[in-house]
Structure 1
Amino acid sequence: MRTSATGPSVRKLTLLESAYEYIQRRGLSDLSLRPLATEVGSSPRVLLFLFGSKHDLIREVLARARTDERRILNQLRRHDRPEPAGIERAAMELWTWLSEPVRRPLLALWAEAYARSVTASPGPTEGFAKDAVEEWLAALAAAQPADVRASVAGATQRTLILAVLRGALLDLLATDDLDRTTSAVHHHLAVFR
Protein backbone atom coordinates (compact mmCIF):
# COMPACT_ATOMS: atom_id res chain seq x y z
CA MET A 1 0.00 0.00 0.00
CA ARG A 2 1.40 3.35 -1.00
CA THR A 3 0.74 5.99 1.66
CA SER A 4 2.24 9.22 2.84
CA ALA A 5 3.41 9.81 6.40
CA THR A 6 -0.11 11.00 7.22
CA GLY A 7 -1.97 8.18 5.48
CA PRO A 8 -3.34 7.35 2.04
CA SER A 9 -3.34 10.13 -0.53
CA VAL A 10 -6.54 11.87 -1.49
CA ARG A 11 -6.14 10.42 -5.00
CA LYS A 12 -5.86 6.89 -3.62
CA LEU A 13 -8.93 7.34 -1.41
CA THR A 14 -10.91 8.76 -4.32
CA LEU A 15 -9.91 5.85 -6.57
CA LEU A 16 -10.70 3.37 -3.80
CA GLU A 17 -14.23 4.76 -3.47
CA SER A 18 -14.71 4.65 -7.24
CA ALA A 19 -13.33 1.10 -7.42
CA TYR A 20 -15.64 0.08 -4.57
CA GLU A 21 -18.68 1.40 -6.46
CA TYR A 22 -17.52 -0.26 -9.69
CA ILE A 23 -16.90 -3.64 -8.05
CA GLN A 24 -20.30 -3.52 -6.33
CA ARG A 25 -21.89 -3.16 -9.76
CA ARG A 26 -19.65 -5.63 -11.62
CA GLY A 27 -18.45 -8.12 -9.01
CA LEU A 28 -15.06 -9.74 -8.60
CA SER A 29 -15.37 -12.63 -11.05
CA ASP A 30 -14.04 -11.03 -14.20
CA LEU A 31 -12.33 -8.04 -12.65
CA SER A 32 -9.72 -6.62 -14.99
CA LEU A 33 -7.64 -3.55 -14.23
CA ARG A 34 -8.00 -1.96 -17.67
CA PRO A 35 -11.84 -1.60 -17.64
CA LEU A 36 -11.75 -0.69 -13.94
CA ALA A 37 -9.15 2.00 -14.56
CA THR A 38 -11.14 3.42 -17.48
CA GLU A 39 -14.30 3.49 -15.37
CA VAL A 40 -12.63 5.24 -12.42
CA GLY A 41 -10.74 7.75 -14.57
CA SER A 42 -7.27 6.35 -14.11
CA SER A 43 -4.87 3.88 -15.71
CA PRO A 44 -3.81 0.35 -14.74
CA ARG A 45 -0.32 1.71 -14.09
CA VAL A 46 -1.57 4.32 -11.61
CA LEU A 47 -3.76 1.74 -9.86
CA LEU A 48 -0.78 -0.60 -9.51
CA PHE A 49 1.41 2.23 -8.24
CA LEU A 50 -1.15 3.26 -5.61
CA PHE A 51 -2.36 -0.18 -4.54
CA GLY A 52 0.64 -2.42 -5.27
CA SER A 53 -1.22 -5.19 -7.10
CA LYS A 54 -4.67 -6.22 -8.26
CA HIS A 55 -4.95 -8.49 -5.18
CA ASP A 56 -4.06 -5.62 -2.87
CA LEU A 57 -6.64 -3.41 -4.56
CA ILE A 58 -9.30 -6.10 -4.05
CA ARG A 59 -8.27 -6.48 -0.39
CA GLU A 60 -8.64 -2.74 0.12
CA VAL A 61 -12.03 -2.67 -1.62
CA LEU A 62 -13.23 -5.52 0.61
CA ALA A 63 -11.89 -3.71 3.68
CA ARG A 64 -13.82 -0.65 2.52
CA ALA A 65 -16.95 -2.76 2.17
CA ARG A 66 -16.45 -4.04 5.72
CA THR A 67 -16.57 -0.46 7.05
CA ASP A 68 -20.16 -0.19 5.79
CA GLU A 69 -21.00 -3.54 7.37
CA ARG A 70 -19.36 -2.62 10.68
CA ARG A 71 -21.60 0.43 11.13
CA ILE A 72 -24.60 -1.73 11.95
CA LEU A 73 -22.52 -4.16 13.98
CA ASN A 74 -21.08 -1.33 16.07
CA GLN A 75 -24.54 0.09 16.59
CA LEU A 76 -25.59 -3.22 18.13
CA ARG A 77 -22.53 -3.17 20.40
CA ARG A 78 -23.05 0.38 21.63
CA HIS A 79 -21.99 0.71 25.23
CA ASP A 80 -24.49 3.47 26.01
CA ARG A 81 -27.42 1.05 26.00
CA PRO A 82 -28.59 0.42 29.57
CA GLU A 83 -28.79 -3.31 28.88
CA PRO A 84 -28.16 -5.65 25.95
CA ALA A 85 -30.58 -5.17 23.06
CA GLY A 86 -31.77 -8.77 23.26
CA ILE A 87 -30.86 -11.31 20.63
CA GLU A 88 -34.22 -11.16 18.84
CA ARG A 89 -34.16 -7.38 18.60
CA ALA A 90 -30.52 -7.36 17.50
CA ALA A 91 -31.19 -9.98 14.83
CA MET A 92 -34.19 -8.01 13.55
CA GLU A 93 -32.06 -4.83 13.40
CA LEU A 94 -29.48 -6.79 11.40
CA TRP A 95 -32.12 -8.21 9.08
CA THR A 96 -33.71 -4.79 8.53
CA TRP A 97 -30.30 -3.39 7.59
CA LEU A 98 -29.40 -6.39 5.41
CA SER A 99 -32.70 -6.44 3.56
CA GLU A 100 -32.82 -2.79 2.53
CA PRO A 101 -32.74 -2.61 -1.29
CA VAL A 102 -29.94 -0.03 -1.21
CA ARG A 103 -27.66 -2.69 0.35
CA ARG A 104 -28.06 -5.27 -2.45
CA PRO A 105 -24.86 -4.32 -4.33
CA LEU A 106 -22.80 -4.35 -1.12
CA LEU A 107 -24.29 -7.67 -0.01
CA ALA A 108 -23.85 -9.27 -3.43
CA LEU A 109 -20.18 -8.31 -3.19
CA TRP A 110 -20.11 -9.67 0.37
CA ALA A 111 -21.63 -12.98 -0.78
CA GLU A 112 -19.16 -13.30 -3.64
CA ALA A 113 -16.17 -12.53 -1.40
CA TYR A 114 -17.51 -14.90 1.27
CA ALA A 115 -17.86 -17.76 -1.22
CA ARG A 116 -14.44 -17.09 -2.75
CA SER A 117 -12.93 -17.00 0.73
CA VAL A 118 -14.08 -20.53 1.55
CA THR A 119 -13.37 -22.05 -1.87
CA ALA A 120 -10.26 -20.33 -3.21
CA SER A 121 -6.64 -20.80 -2.32
CA PRO A 122 -4.88 -17.89 -0.64
CA GLY A 123 -5.63 -14.65 -2.41
CA PRO A 124 -7.33 -11.33 -1.86
CA THR A 125 -10.39 -12.85 -0.15
CA GLU A 126 -8.39 -15.04 2.25
CA GLY A 127 -9.89 -14.88 5.74
CA PHE A 128 -12.91 -12.82 4.62
CA ALA A 129 -15.53 -15.43 5.55
CA LYS A 130 -13.96 -16.31 8.89
CA ASP A 131 -13.64 -12.64 9.87
CA ALA A 132 -17.25 -11.98 8.85
CA VAL A 133 -18.53 -14.88 10.94
CA GLU A 134 -16.53 -13.75 13.98
CA GLU A 135 -17.69 -10.13 13.70
CA TRP A 136 -21.36 -11.00 13.27
CA LEU A 137 -21.24 -13.51 16.14
CA ALA A 138 -19.61 -10.88 18.37
CA ALA A 139 -22.36 -8.38 17.53
CA LEU A 140 -25.03 -10.94 18.39
CA ALA A 141 -23.19 -11.87 21.60
CA ALA A 142 -23.23 -8.22 22.68
CA ALA A 143 -27.03 -8.39 22.54
CA GLN A 144 -27.18 -11.27 25.00
CA PRO A 145 -27.11 -11.05 28.80
CA ALA A 146 -23.63 -11.84 30.16
CA ASP A 147 -24.61 -15.24 31.60
CA VAL A 148 -26.17 -16.39 28.31
CA ARG A 149 -23.30 -14.94 26.27
CA ALA A 150 -20.80 -17.06 28.21
CA SER A 151 -22.76 -20.31 27.87
CA VAL A 152 -22.69 -23.05 25.25
CA ALA A 153 -26.42 -22.46 24.73
CA GLY A 154 -25.73 -18.77 24.04
CA ALA A 155 -23.08 -19.63 21.44
CA THR A 156 -25.46 -22.13 19.83
CA GLN A 157 -28.21 -19.52 19.74
CA ARG A 158 -25.93 -16.97 18.03
CA THR A 159 -24.72 -19.54 15.52
CA LEU A 160 -28.25 -20.58 14.60
CA ILE A 161 -29.42 -16.98 14.22
CA LEU A 162 -26.41 -16.14 12.06
CA ALA A 163 -27.05 -19.19 9.87
CA VAL A 164 -30.69 -18.17 9.37
CA LEU A 165 -29.78 -14.54 8.60
CA ARG A 166 -27.07 -15.59 6.14
CA GLY A 167 -29.37 -18.11 4.46
CA ALA A 168 -32.23 -15.63 4.22
CA LEU A 169 -29.83 -13.05 2.80
CA LEU A 170 -28.61 -15.42 0.08
CA ASP A 171 -32.23 -16.32 -0.70
CA LEU A 172 -33.15 -12.62 -0.88
CA LEU A 173 -30.22 -11.88 -3.19
CA ALA A 174 -31.27 -14.77 -5.45
CA THR A 175 -35.02 -14.14 -5.54
CA ASP A 176 -35.61 -10.55 -4.41
CA ASP A 177 -38.54 -11.92 -2.38
CA LEU A 178 -38.41 -9.63 0.64
CA ASP A 179 -41.81 -10.59 2.06
CA ARG A 180 -41.12 -14.32 2.15
CA THR A 181 -37.59 -14.05 3.50
CA THR A 182 -38.59 -11.50 6.15
CA SER A 183 -41.49 -13.71 7.21
CA ALA A 184 -39.09 -16.64 7.59
CA VAL A 185 -36.68 -14.56 9.69
CA HIS A 186 -39.55 -13.34 11.91
CA HIS A 187 -40.83 -16.89 12.30
CA HIS A 188 -37.42 -18.16 13.34
CA LEU A 189 -36.75 -15.30 15.76
CA ALA A 190 -40.13 -15.74 17.50
CA VAL A 191 -38.54 -18.75 19.25
CA PHE A 192 -36.39 -16.32 21.27
CA ARG A 193 -39.27 -14.35 22.80
Structure 2
Amino acid sequence: MATRKDELTQALIAYLLEHGLADVSLRPLAAGVGSSARLLVYHYGSKEGLLAEVLDAMQAHVHQAATKLFEQTSSKGDSPKLLRRFWDWAIADANFPYLKLLYELQILAIQDPDTYAPFLQRDAAKSLSLTLSLMSSPMRSASMATLCIAVFDGLFLDLMTTGDHARTTAAMDQFIKLAMASPPSTPATRKKTRKPKP
Protein backbone atom coordinates (compact mmCIF):
# COMPACT_ATOMS: atom_id res chain seq x y z
CA MET A 1 0.00 0.00 0.00
CA ALA A 2 1.38 3.39 -1.02
CA THR A 3 2.29 5.77 1.79
CA ARG A 4 1.76 9.51 1.74
CA LYS A 5 5.47 9.92 0.97
CA ASP A 6 5.19 7.50 -1.97
CA GLU A 7 2.29 9.53 -3.32
CA LEU A 8 4.26 12.75 -2.87
CA THR A 9 7.27 11.28 -4.69
CA GLN A 10 5.12 10.30 -7.68
CA ALA A 11 3.48 13.74 -7.68
CA LEU A 12 6.90 15.39 -7.57
CA ILE A 13 8.08 13.29 -10.51
CA ALA A 14 5.00 14.33 -12.50
CA TYR A 15 5.63 17.99 -11.63
CA LEU A 16 9.31 17.82 -12.63
CA LEU A 17 8.47 16.01 -15.87
CA GLU A 18 6.25 18.94 -16.79
CA HIS A 19 8.34 21.81 -15.46
CA GLY A 20 11.92 20.54 -15.48
CA LEU A 21 14.65 21.50 -13.04
CA ALA A 22 15.28 25.14 -13.93
CA ASP A 23 15.45 27.18 -10.70
CA VAL A 24 13.73 24.39 -8.79
CA SER A 25 12.96 25.28 -5.16
CA LEU A 26 10.81 23.84 -2.39
CA ARG A 27 7.98 26.39 -2.37
CA PRO A 28 7.03 26.05 -6.06
CA LEU A 29 7.45 22.29 -5.79
CA ALA A 30 5.17 22.17 -2.77
CA ALA A 31 2.55 24.39 -4.41
CA GLY A 32 2.71 22.29 -7.58
CA VAL A 33 1.88 19.07 -5.75
CA GLY A 34 -0.67 20.58 -3.34
CA SER A 35 1.58 20.39 -0.31
CA SER A 36 3.74 22.74 1.74
CA ALA A 37 7.48 23.36 1.94
CA ARG A 38 7.36 22.36 5.62
CA LEU A 39 5.81 18.99 4.78
CA LEU A 40 8.38 18.34 2.05
CA VAL A 41 11.18 19.08 4.51
CA TYR A 42 9.51 16.74 7.01
CA HIS A 43 9.46 13.88 4.50
CA TYR A 44 12.73 14.48 2.64
CA GLY A 45 14.89 16.61 4.95
CA SER A 46 15.93 19.14 2.29
CA LYS A 47 15.65 19.97 -1.41
CA GLU A 48 18.76 17.87 -2.01
CA GLY A 49 17.26 14.94 -0.10
CA LEU A 50 14.05 15.27 -2.09
CA LEU A 51 15.86 15.26 -5.44
CA ALA A 52 18.01 12.29 -4.37
CA GLU A 53 14.88 10.27 -3.58
CA VAL A 54 13.27 11.35 -6.84
CA LEU A 55 16.43 10.14 -8.59
CA ASP A 56 16.10 6.75 -6.91
CA ALA A 57 12.43 6.48 -7.84
CA MET A 58 13.12 7.47 -11.45
CA GLN A 59 15.96 4.97 -11.71
CA ALA A 60 13.76 2.20 -10.29
CA HIS A 61 11.03 3.06 -12.80
CA VAL A 62 13.43 2.86 -15.74
CA HIS A 63 15.07 -0.37 -14.55
CA GLN A 64 11.71 -2.06 -13.96
CA ALA A 65 10.46 -0.98 -17.37
CA ALA A 66 13.68 -2.19 -19.02
CA THR A 67 13.51 -5.56 -17.29
CA LYS A 68 9.87 -6.01 -18.31
CA LEU A 69 10.67 -4.99 -21.86
CA PHE A 70 13.49 -7.51 -22.14
CA GLU A 71 11.40 -10.29 -20.62
CA GLN A 72 8.80 -9.76 -23.35
CA THR A 73 11.20 -9.88 -26.29
CA SER A 74 12.15 -13.03 -28.16
CA SER A 75 15.70 -11.72 -28.61
CA LYS A 76 16.56 -12.02 -24.93
CA GLY A 77 20.21 -12.93 -24.62
CA ASP A 78 21.13 -11.16 -27.87
CA SER A 79 22.86 -8.16 -26.32
CA PRO A 80 23.06 -5.83 -29.36
CA LYS A 81 19.40 -6.34 -30.25
CA LEU A 82 18.39 -5.74 -26.64
CA LEU A 83 20.34 -2.47 -26.66
CA ARG A 84 18.52 -1.37 -29.82
CA ARG A 85 15.16 -2.38 -28.34
CA PHE A 86 15.88 -0.32 -25.21
CA TRP A 87 16.93 2.64 -27.36
CA ASP A 88 13.59 2.47 -29.22
CA TRP A 89 11.77 2.34 -25.88
CA ALA A 90 13.76 5.25 -24.45
CA ILE A 91 13.19 7.64 -27.35
CA ALA A 92 9.46 6.90 -27.66
CA ASP A 93 7.29 9.92 -26.81
CA ALA A 94 5.83 8.25 -23.71
CA ASN A 95 9.24 7.41 -22.21
CA PHE A 96 11.60 10.14 -23.40
CA PRO A 97 10.58 12.66 -20.70
CA TYR A 98 11.42 10.14 -17.94
CA LEU A 99 14.89 9.45 -19.32
CA LYS A 100 15.48 13.15 -19.98
CA LEU A 101 14.60 14.05 -16.40
CA LEU A 102 16.80 11.26 -15.06
CA TYR A 103 19.77 12.56 -17.04
CA GLU A 104 19.08 16.13 -15.92
CA LEU A 105 19.02 14.96 -12.31
CA GLN A 106 22.24 13.04 -12.83
CA ILE A 107 23.93 16.14 -14.24
CA LEU A 108 22.75 18.07 -11.18
CA ALA A 109 24.20 15.31 -8.99
CA ILE A 110 27.54 15.51 -10.79
CA GLN A 111 27.62 19.25 -10.12
CA ASP A 112 27.12 18.60 -6.40
CA PRO A 113 28.95 15.31 -5.70
CA ASP A 114 29.22 15.99 -1.97
CA THR A 115 25.44 15.78 -1.70
CA TYR A 116 24.68 13.21 -4.38
CA ALA A 117 27.76 10.96 -4.40
CA PRO A 118 25.92 8.00 -2.81
CA PHE A 119 23.23 8.13 -5.49
CA LEU A 120 25.76 8.37 -8.31
CA GLN A 121 27.61 5.32 -6.97
CA ARG A 122 24.38 3.32 -6.61
CA ASP A 123 23.23 4.39 -10.06
CA ALA A 124 26.48 3.27 -11.70
CA ALA A 125 26.46 -0.04 -9.84
CA LYS A 126 22.80 -0.78 -10.64
CA SER A 127 23.18 0.12 -14.30
CA LEU A 128 26.24 -2.09 -14.66
CA SER A 129 24.55 -4.98 -12.83
CA LEU A 130 21.40 -4.75 -14.97
CA THR A 131 23.37 -4.53 -18.20
CA LEU A 132 25.56 -7.51 -17.29
CA SER A 133 22.52 -9.60 -16.38
CA LEU A 134 21.07 -9.06 -19.86
CA MET A 135 24.23 -9.71 -21.84
CA SER A 136 25.01 -13.03 -23.45
CA SER A 137 28.35 -14.82 -23.52
CA PRO A 138 30.94 -14.15 -24.94
CA MET A 139 29.96 -10.47 -24.84
CA ARG A 140 29.29 -10.47 -21.11
CA SER A 141 32.05 -8.52 -19.41
CA ALA A 142 32.26 -5.44 -17.24
CA SER A 143 34.21 -3.59 -19.92
CA MET A 144 31.66 -4.36 -22.67
CA ALA A 145 28.75 -3.48 -20.39
CA THR A 146 30.46 -0.20 -19.52
CA LEU A 147 30.97 0.54 -23.21
CA CYS A 148 27.29 -0.13 -24.00
CA ILE A 149 26.19 2.15 -21.16
CA ALA A 150 28.60 4.89 -22.26
CA VAL A 151 27.42 4.73 -25.88
CA PHE A 152 23.78 4.86 -24.81
CA ASP A 153 24.43 7.76 -22.40
CA GLY A 154 26.37 9.74 -24.99
CA LEU A 155 23.81 9.28 -27.74
CA PHE A 156 20.89 10.07 -25.45
CA LEU A 157 22.58 13.27 -24.25
CA ASP A 158 23.21 14.16 -27.90
CA LEU A 159 19.52 13.57 -28.64
CA MET A 160 18.51 15.72 -25.67
CA THR A 161 20.71 18.52 -27.01
CA THR A 162 19.93 18.36 -30.72
CA GLY A 163 16.61 16.54 -31.05
CA ASP A 164 18.11 14.64 -33.98
CA HIS A 165 16.41 11.22 -33.77
CA ALA A 166 17.57 10.03 -37.19
CA ARG A 167 21.29 10.69 -36.69
CA THR A 168 21.51 9.37 -33.13
CA THR A 169 19.53 6.24 -34.02
CA ALA A 170 21.78 5.66 -37.04
CA ALA A 171 24.79 5.99 -34.73
CA MET A 172 23.28 3.43 -32.35
CA ASP A 173 22.77 1.05 -35.28
CA GLN A 174 26.38 1.59 -36.36
CA PHE A 175 27.66 0.79 -32.87
CA ILE A 176 25.54 -2.39 -32.78
CA LYS A 177 26.97 -3.50 -36.14
CA LEU A 178 30.49 -2.95 -34.86
CA ALA A 179 29.75 -4.82 -31.63
CA MET A 180 28.25 -7.77 -33.48
CA ALA A 181 31.12 -7.91 -36.00
CA SER A 182 33.86 -7.73 -33.39
CA PRO A 183 32.97 -9.55 -30.18
CA PRO A 184 35.31 -8.62 -27.34
CA SER A 185 38.33 -10.82 -26.87
CA THR A 186 38.90 -12.76 -23.69
CA PRO A 187 42.25 -13.40 -21.98
CA ALA A 188 42.19 -16.89 -23.53
CA THR A 189 41.72 -15.62 -27.10
CA ARG A 190 44.32 -12.91 -26.61
CA LYS A 191 46.79 -15.57 -25.47
CA LYS A 192 46.12 -17.68 -28.57
CA THR A 193 46.67 -14.79 -30.96
CA ARG A 194 49.78 -13.42 -29.25
CA LYS A 195 52.79 -13.40 -31.57
CA PRO A 196 55.80 -15.45 -30.49
CA LYS A 197 58.80 -13.52 -29.25
CA PRO A 198 61.70 -13.37 -31.73
Q: TM-score, normalised by structure 1?
A: 0.79
Task: Judge conservation of contact 1:98–1:107 (CA < 8 Å) in 2.
Answer: yes
- Separation of aligned partners in 1, 2:134 and 2:2: 35
Aligned to 2:188: none
Q: Does residue 108 in structure 1 map to residue 95 in structure 2?
A: no
Max Rg structure: 2
Question: Of the candidates 107, 114, 117, which is equivalent to residue 126 of structure 1?
Answer: 117
Code of the aligned partner of 1:176: G
DSSP 3-state at the match of 2:31: helix
The runs of at least 4 consecutive aligned structure 1 residues that moved more than 4 Å come to 80-84
Residue type at the aligned position of 2:34? G
Q: Percent identity?
A: 28
Which structure carries more relative contact order (alpha carbon 8 Å, separation 6+)?
Answer: 1
Which range moves more in the overlay, 158-167 or 20-29? 20-29
* Structure 2 residue 51 is the aligned partner of structure 1 residue 58: yes
Pairs within 5 Å for 1:31-42: 31-42=24-35
Matches within 5 A, 1:1-193: 9=3, 11-75=4-68, 85-123=77-115, 125-146=116-137, 148-149=139-140, 154-193=141-180
Q: Deviations over 1:90-134 (max 9, x none)?
A: 2112211221122232222211222233332321x3233333333
RMSD (Å), alpha carbons: 2.6
Shift of 1:167: 0.8
Distance 1:67 1:140, change over 3 A: closer
TM-score (ref. length: structure 2): 0.77
Which runs of 5 or more structure 1 residues have no equivalent in the other structure?
Answer: 1-6
Aligned letter for 1:68? H
Q: Shift of the alpha carbon at 1:8?
A: 6.4
Is the Cα–Cα contact under 8 Å of residues 70 and 82 in structure 2 kept in the other structure? no
